[in-house]
Structure 1
Amino acid sequence: MTTSTLTSLHHFIGGDASTAGDRTSPVYNPATGVQTGQVPLADAATLTTAVDAAETAAPAWRSTGMAKRANIMFNLRQIITARRGELAAIITAEHGKVLDDADGEITRGLENVEFCAGLVHHMKGETLEQASTGVDVTQLRQPVGVVACITPFNFPAMVPLWMVTTAIAAGNTVILKPSEKVPSAALWLAEAFREAGLPDGVLNVVNGDKDTVDRILDEPRIKAVSFVGSTPIARHIYTTAAAAGKRVQALGGAKNHMVVMPDADLDAAADAAVSAGYGAAGERCMAVSVVVAVGDIADELVAKVSSRMADLTVADGATAGADMGPVITAEAKDRIEGYVAGAAGEGATVVVDGRAGHGTDLPEQGFFTGPTLLDHVRPGMRVYDEEIFGPVLSVVRVETYDEAVELINNCRFANGTAIFTRDGRAARSFTFDIEVGMVGVNVPIPVPIGAFSFGGWKDSLFGDTHMYGPESFNFYTRRKVVTERWPLPSESQITMGFPTN
């Protein structure tokens, strides 16, 4: 394919399209391996222009009434809902996930739009009358200013809707830096926001790579940074931005365990393991990557998971009947298959090998690797210790519940976990004992609904607040406390002591 036939993408700055930047990055359809577009990568001048636009728009947007902001959220929901098939097709074409999964991503993003439509409740402050004689105290929530949202490739619409919508509802203006691998969904959302009534400059989309991210971290006018991605980059963003005095929330990687107790419904557990392990080709930070089989159920459970894997159809995500699409890039495919290739040498049993030529029927073109199942995995193996971020499911065998809890609590990642059991006492003990941020009981992917907030512990989260929901409004606002008294002239006097009640 020649460059002239590629789709030329752009930035969205101050309400206008821009192709500024002296470098570009290719955009592929992972299902074909063919480059479909190219996106400009912002240089220093481009980012400066975007921050200028956000800074210029900030005073008027902060002064915009809450009811008008809420109305924009209602309009946005209506626009996305009416055209969700169009957005899902864009996601599938650039990420590769199947259309049903892309549509599900949109649904979860809309949950936060709906939550933010109630911003008049979330932005309320607090007032204490007569804190002292004739003295009233009011605590206000006010926006931070210009904020940056740096989003990952695996959820091109959902994560921007988790971040950007709350930031805007709270009165901030935004620089959105999507993954350069999947830029089109962010640009689509920017146009939807404008159609919903958002003024120009409140949301700006700046495409870029690591250089652009580093410029965002150095830009003093950007007051807060929200990020989702791998743990090494999350740690870098957190330490760099915090050192520059910015507010930071940086969500990192995961190694999510699903404990299956001896009393569990093994058919239901096997269904859940396949769904949560191989959906979106395992490219989810909440994907189940480790099944912990407790007691003597492992052989039966592995057989049930393996039998279900044989029925999965790996194909272009836009194809009817596809269960799993490709991974995002050829490099990702090679990295994932490198873990599989080394698993046996580490002592794991390769039950199902998803690589081409090992029994899995894969399309000849595109970045496809099939679902892989590994048994007898242990801590210390690379396939256990590291985040693979692909369709590789490992089974760890333990004898007791206590061993399962110890295994999970010793893991450096603590994003999500789940337990499958019929025993209410075991389930309650698990939720109490486990040191993980999000827990499911007979729910394999425990992503909270929009009224709660999303985030893990340990190396899965850097910062003090989780994403979307109530904690997100805390992140995107600052508290101001006003103490006021209206004395009569006759009550005025000089008091040199420290004020007390």
Structure 2
Amino acid sequence: MEVKVYKNYVNGKWVEPQNSGYVDVENPSTGKIIAKVPLSTKAETDKAIDIAHEAFKTWSQTPIPRRAKPLFKLRDLLMENEEEISKILVEEMGKSLPDARAEMKRCFENIEVACGMPMLQQSDKIIGTSFGIDGEVLRLPMGVFTVVAPFNFPAMVPFWFVPYAIATGNTVVVKPSKQVPGTMIKITEFIDKIGLPPGVYNVVNGDREVADAFIENPKVKGFSLVGSTKVCRTVAEKCARNNKRFQAMGSAKNHLVAMPDAKIDEVVRNMMTSCFGCAGQRCMASSVLIGVGDEMYKTICDKFTQAAKQVIVADPLDPKYAEEPNLMGPVISKHAFDFINKMIEVGIKEGAKLLLDGRGIKVPGNEGGHFIGPTIFADVKEGMEIHKTEIFGPVVCIMKAKNLDEAIGIINRHQYGNGASIYTQNGYWAREFKLKAEAGMIGVNIGIPAPVAFLPFGGMKNSQFADIKAQGKAIINFYTEDKIITERFWPETD
């Protein structure tokens, strides 16, 4: 099998890195090397930023409708080639083909919202702030913005940012995850065809050296990242020292509360998708299930465990399982595999009851793959490491609460607050949960409360280090600088 060698994309051209080493990209289903990605240097990164800075001078003066026009073409191109991109995503990341297609649809949605920039970026004007005086707020583009993408959503996450940066008149430099660079490289091949001026959009592959260069370069106005809370806290501190805008979306431990009146079949069906889609490697996965009351807790333990046993763990590129709705692929790497197995051992030692053990899964023909099956713990208590830690795998903790207030207390005492959901038919309980649960994204009878593109995406507490959330109308404030005008004119005199 041919091993691809990826390049950077700078100034409208594919560029061979000059001083870079390379790291291997592997298929997590097989463990085989499928590509090599360059580790670009600070000097190469700074050069790309310089080019983007020069391109900004012209792009920022381009009329807004003309800035949006290439995005219409991009949406059409990506939709026409959705299947090709999705299969690359599956090969290098390991999620199922239906999950990959769903990720691509989120890309389309964000492009569509950004195409409305002529409406979204309108200025505000007040006639008559005083006698003969008017006030106006101009929303102006700022310069070069940078994006560091995660491995779990290599297409969707960049599209929380890139279309908006471009449409608002800024230029952008993207660093794909070195574990899954091929998806964004393929998308960039289509971006190359939409007529953007050279330097408006650029891709620099690499590791931390590239990300640090983004933060330290004074020509960069803003930095967006999805990563662990530890990394996000460091990014926030560095960006603050460098007077740079930042969005840093961190770790999560999302709780799903099943009230006594919850429709149990819907809870179980939604939990299957929420917990085991993408092998649990997503920041909106419900990794903690709280059953309210003894009866609901016992029912959840029994029915969810039985349903989880039906999950098929296999290579998502195996034609036999490609469209299987209960398919779960591998986790991303040997490192992730080892960490998840370690946390399962921790849970056992802490005294949690292991209802379903996903260790030791063997997929014939894929002996080098990083497969772990659904794993479920019951009798989980606050303070246990398996409850405190983001495991980022197909491991679910089931807890019991006496009532809604106790369930909300469990959520609010946790350091993370990305998402939380409640299942109930009781409007009062739902309202209490919406108002009191400390999470940035709330679901009511929704397993994955990830908002659509025209609504903001982001968490609370240690799950987000930013004032402005991703995507939607709100992100316009991240990519523009307000300039406030106060003006007065006197009448001409003879």
1:400 aligns with 2:398: no
1:298 aligns with 2:297: yes
For the residue of structure 2 that corresponds to 1:341, the secondary structure is helix
1:383 aligns with 2:386: yes
Identify the match of residue 422 of structure 1 among 396, 420, 425.
Answer: 425
Identify the match of residue 212 of structure 2 among 197, 205, 214.
Answer: 214
**1:432 counterpart residue number:** 435
For the residue of structure 2 that corresponds to 1:226, the secondary structure is strand
Cα deviations across residues 192-233 of structure 1 (Å, max 9, x unaligned)? 222122121101101111122112111111011111111100
* Counterpart amino acid of residue 202 in structure 1: V
**1:373 counterpart residue number:** 376
**2:16 counterpart residue number:** 19
Cα deviations across residues 317-347 of structure 1 (Å, max 9, x unaligned)? 2232261111111110110111112211101
Question: Matched residues in 2 for 1:381 and 1:362: separation?
Answer: 37
1:88 aligns with 2:86: yes
**1:455 counterpart residue number:** 458
Residues 50 and 219 in structure 2, CA contact (< 8 A), matched pair in contact too: no
Q: CA deviation at 1:360?
A: 9.5
Residues 317 and 325 in structure 1, CA contact (< 8 A), matched pair in contact too: yes
**2:242 counterpart residue number:** 244
> How is 1:352-363 mapped onto 2 (pairs within 5 angstroms)?
352-356=356-360, 363=366
Identify the match of residue 148 of structure 1 among 146, 149, 160.
Answer: 146
For the residue of structure 2 that corresponds to 1:63, the secondary structure is coil
* Counterpart amino acid of residue 340 in structure 1: I
Question: Matched residues in 1 for 2:236 and 2:108: separation?
Answer: 27
**1:132 counterpart residue number:** 130
**2:61 counterpart residue number:** 63
For the residue of structure 2 that corresponds to 1:250, the secondary structure is strand
Distance 1:384 1:360, change over 3 A: farther
For the residue of structure 2 that corresponds to 1:152, the secondary structure is coil
Residues 46 and 213 in structure 2, CA contact (< 8 A), matched pair in contact too: no
For the residue of structure 2 that corresponds to 1:158, the secondary structure is coil
User: For structure 1, which runs of at least 5 residues remain unmatched after alignment?
Assistant: 492-501
Q: CA deviation at 1:88?
A: 0.3
For the residue of structure 1 that corresponds to 2:468, the secondary structure is coil
Q: Return 238-247 or 18-27, whichever deviates more.
A: 18-27
* Counterpart amino acid of residue 490 in structure 2: P
Identify the match of residue 336 of structure 1 among 325, 337, 340.
Answer: 340
**1:7 counterpart residue number:** 4
Question: Matched residues in 2 for 1:116 and 1:399: separation?
Answer: 45
Question: Matched residues in 1 for 2:299 and 2:487: separation?
Answer: 69
Question: Matched residues in 2 for 1:223 and 1:360: separation?
Answer: 47
Provide the TM-score with structure 2 as the length reference.
0.96
Residues 57 and 202 in structure 1, CA contact (< 8 A), matched pair in contact too: yes
Question: Matched residues in 1 for 2:190 and 2:364: separation?
Answer: 39
Identify the match of residue 327 of structure 1 among 302, 324, 331.
Answer: 331
Question: Matched residues in 1 for 2:31 and 2:301: separation?
Answer: 33
Question: Matched residues in 2 for 1:189 and 1:485: separation?
Answer: 49
Question: Matched residues in 2 for 1:45 and 1:364: separation?
Answer: 40
User: For structure 2, which runs of at least 5 residues remain unmatched after alignment?
Assistant: none
* Counterpart amino acid of residue 101 in structure 1: D
Question: Matched residues in 2 for 1:19 and 1:398: separation?
Answer: 57
Question: Matched residues in 2 for 1:33 and 1:100: separation?
Answer: 22
Residues 356 and 362 in structure 1, CA contact (< 8 A), matched pair in contact too: no
* Counterpart amino acid of residue 22 in structure 1: S
Q: CA deviation at 1:380?
A: 1.2
**2:473 counterpart residue number:** 470
Identify the match of residue 446 of structure 1 among 444, 449, 456.
Answer: 449
Q: Percent identity?
A: 39
Provide the TM-score with structure 1 as the length reference.
0.95
Question: Matched residues in 1 for 2:201 and 2:39: separation?
Answer: 18
Distance 1:195 1:108, change over 3 A: same
Q: How many residues align?
A: 487
**2:226 counterpart residue number:** 228
Residues 372 and 391 in structure 1, CA contact (< 8 A), matched pair in contact too: yes
Residues 13 and 204 in structure 1, CA contact (< 8 A), matched pair in contact too: yes
Distance 1:280 1:425, change over 3 A: same
Q: CA deviation at 1:95?
A: 0.5
**2:310 counterpart residue number:** 311
RMSD, matched Cα: 1.6
For the residue of structure 2 that corresponds to 1:108, the secondary structure is helix
**2:276 counterpart residue number:** 278
Question: Matched residues in 1 for 2:72 and 2:160: separation?
Answer: 15
Cα deviations across residues 109-145 of structure 1 (Å, max 9, x unaligned)? 2111110111011100101122222222211101121
**1:287 counterpart residue number:** 285
Residues 166 and 476 in structure 1, CA contact (< 8 A), matched pair in contact too: yes
**1:346 counterpart residue number:** 350
* Counterpart amino acid of residue 9 in structure 2: F
Question: Matched residues in 2 for 1:363 and 1:308: separation?
Answer: 25
Q: CA deviation at 1:263?
A: 1.0
